[in-house]
Amino acid sequence: MGLIISDKGLETLKKIKGKIIVNICADDWKDYNRSYGNIKIELQNCFIEIENDYRLVPYFGTEEELAGYDAKILKDNKFDYSVMEEDLYTKEINKQVVGINIIRDTIMIDYKDEDKNEVYKIDQAIIFDFGIMKFCISQTSIFTPMSKITFSEDVEMEIKSIEEVKSEWIDDDLDTEVKSPKYKVHVKRKILEL
């Protein structure tokens, strides 16, 4: 399963590097640093939309709607927001992006009594580096398209740790005969520098 940004989306994000972000617009995250749905980034010559929406993907032998990121250039500034327009909040930035990182986790599920495993790839966060400050969009849950939006010198502290990701995937359904989980969870984290 892949809840990762598409190749086209990665190319779109790469275009932001070296450019000035004028502002960022999303549903009202001003007071709670949480935003449902999509985020619009205004550059000096175009608009980029960070999509955070449900995708139907294989999940533990069935199909499930899980949230994942992608990015696209907006045509005609048509932003797909999920709230009333008056509930959108715009934050002025006017800073040049010197680097962009994607935090990508690979979750491996190893079944106890079976010769099979499942692999899930999830982009947990997109980090825009302005030099002395960073802007981070990070997942709060794979089951809800909600992003945590953070401005800080140390945004990495706001991203779910590997242990937190692992705990979300731990098997609570124990094999009652031997009192052990039916599968083991392993998480590997990779930072993609764009």
Per-residue pLDDT of the chain (194 residues; tens, 9 = 90+): 678 999 999 999 999 999 999 999 998 777 788 888 899 999 999 999 999 888 888 877 788 888 899 999 998 878 877 777 788 899 999 999 999 999 999 999 888 767 778 899 999 999 999 999 999 999 998 888 889 999 888 898 889 999 999 988 886 665 555 556 778 899 999 999 99
- 26, 51 in Cβ contact below 8 A? no
How many CB atoms are located within 10 Å of the residue 7 CB? 8
What pLDDT was estimated at residue 133? 94
Pair 150, 33: CB distance under 8 Å: yes
Strand 20-27, strand 88-96: pairing: antiparallel
Q: What is the pLDDT of residue 83?
A: 77
Residue 125's Cβ-count burial label (10 Å; 0-12, 13-18, 19+) is buried
